[in-house]
Amino acid sequence: MTPKLARLAGFGALGAAAGLLLLILLIMFLLRPGQFAGMDWTNRILTWMSFAGLLSALAFVHILLGRRLLAASRDERPEP
């Protein structure tokens, strides 16, 4: 992979991680309690936890891959 392409892919992976973290906030905003809320507290908290766990794990992997790609674009070798 060329350094320019690795750098672009690294920034894309970091951008995807930011988008996933913003998606967590959007889900929490949409499922906030209100006058016409259709979910009780137990289901709302379980939904928040399940989406936050899944999306934060995906964001973490994207951050690791993005950092690895950015290091590859600078020709740095990871330490064993």
Pick from 25, 71, 65, 70: nearest CA to 48 = 25
Q: pLDDT-derived band of residue 78, with 50, 70 and 90 as boundaries?
A: low
Orientation of helix 3-30 relative to helix 41-73, angle to 10°: 170
User: Contact at 8 Å (CB) between 66 and 11?
Assistant: yes
* pLDDT number for residue 27: 85
Q: Of 7-11, 17-21, 29-33, 69-73, give the lowest mean pLDDT range.
A: 29-33
Enter the pTM of the model: 0.79
Let me know: does 14 contact 73? Beta carbons within 8 Å: no
DSSP letter string, 4-30: HHHHHHHHHHHHHHHHHHHHHHHHHHH
